[in-house]
Amino acid sequence: MQKIWLGVIVVLIGLGVYSLYGYLRLEAPPIEEERILKPPLPANPVSAPGVTPSEILIGSSLALGGHASFLGTQYLHGAMCLIEQINEEGGIHHRKIRVIAYDDGYDPPRCVANTKRLILKDKVFCLFCYVGTPTSVKIIDIVEENKIPLLGLFTGADKLRFPFRHYIFNVRSSYYQETDAVVRYFVEEEGLRRVAVFYQYDDYGFDGLKGTQIALQKYGLSPVSTGSFIRGTLDIEEALDKIQASKAQAVIMIGTYSPCAKFIKEARARKYNPLFHNVSFVGPDRLVQELGDAGEGVLITQVVPPPTERILLPATEQYSRLLAQYYPKDQPNFVSFEGFMNARVLIEALRRAGRDLSRGGFIRALESIKEYYVGIGAVINFGPRDHQGIDDVYLTKVRNGQLELLLYK
């Protein structure tokens, strides 16, 4: 145990030094030639949808109501607290950013309708901060057909990454990377070999299940049991019966906070106590809140570091300050911190694209982002054939009602 804690302390110090170095570089006055791509992008701002001399119009569809509303509202608030500050400072190249956000309730048909409205009626410049796998995968063809950039999705779905999508940019790591990290921890660190999967019966759950199967195959293993539930319900009993009967030593959970919390609490009540793990989409802070005392020891993989590390990770200080300023009722959490990171990337790309803004120029600006320090101990890298910015995974564990960093990959 002392070795684990020593390792965590060393990791945090290393992340802090790395982040501070990058943050100081980031905050230094930029050389104008480095901010705008060379040669200047030949684009006519009048012809770019959603762009006027004073405004850039951006669209989002996400869960602002319903059973996944915490995810959508927090993701949007995290991004908006930085966008609001940028607007107060004069915007990007003298243009303010205006975001139109529609509620899709984590429902695929509503997301499709919202996206069509944003593109065809509102004529937004780009799409931003979408939430969820079952919703996002349904708009891939719409995005590609309309040649509109989509940046920052709260999902690690493989379908949004492979095959390569020219107009889709993911900032976060994938579910395959999250499940690979936790399977390695279960097998190599904990010596466990009997792993089950509890998953949401849709594209999100299927993706997490497949990622777990791929990760287990590296050790000559496969899930000892699987159990599923229907999105939007709390019907977890049949899945729990099946997984408990398998005597699984660990359960990887691919769902949202309420059904996963119910599964864990009912398992505890039955005296069934395997190691529980959730992927980042679960809504870590809300899960911990719903679990209460039953949450002790639960593992959650994250795609951003703990937002409470304000001293060691400079971006968390800015995020916490702006969140308190613009959304004083919110508490810092992993979901809104990820939204904040999306906004950092959005703003950097808009700056690089220059005054003559076009969709093509915006895409080239995103692809030019390399070794971009954002103050979290990781750098963001894109490229013409690489539209995933971060590959890092942070393994956290619930201790005394708080999420603490256990391992960093």
> How many CB atoms sit inside 10 A of residue 408's CB?
20
The total number of residues written for the chain in this structure: 409
pLDDT tens digits, 184-229: 999 999 999 999 999 999 999 999 999 999 999 999 999 999 999 9
Write down the pLDDT at residue 374: 86
What are the residue boundaries of the structural domains of the chain, listed by start?
9-173+308-391, 175-302
Which amino acid makes up residue 142?
I
Going by pLDDT thresholds of 50, 70 and 90, the confidence category of residue 47 is low
The DSSP annotation for 139-172 comes to: GHHHHHHHT--EEEEE---GGGTSS--TTEEB-S
pLDDT tens digits, 95-127: 999 999 999 999 999 999 999 999 999 999 999
Please count the helices (runs of H) and the strands (runs of E) in the chain. Answer: 14, 15
Q: Is pLDDT of 347 > 50?
A: yes
Q: What is the mean pLDDT of residues 54-71?
A: 97
pLDDT tens digits, 320-342: 999 999 999 999 999 999 999 99
Q: Report the candidate in 239, 237, 238, 161 with the shortest Cα–Cα distance to residue 199.
A: 239
CATH topology of domain 175-302: Rossmann fold (3.40.50)
Which of 43-52, 361-370, 378-387 is the least confident region?
A: 43-52
Write down the pLDDT at residue 366: 98
First to last CA, the chain: 19
CATH architecture of residue range(s) 9-173+308-391: 3-Layer(aba) Sandwich (3.40)
Q: What is the mean pLDDT of residues 68-76?
A: 97
Contact status, residue 296 vs residue 271, Cβ threshold 8 Å: no
Write down the pLDDT at residue 256: 96
β-strand 195-200 against 250-254: which pairing, if any? Answer: parallel
Residue 93 CA to residue 55 CA, distance in Å, equals: 10
pLDDT tens digits, 349-358: 999 999 999 9
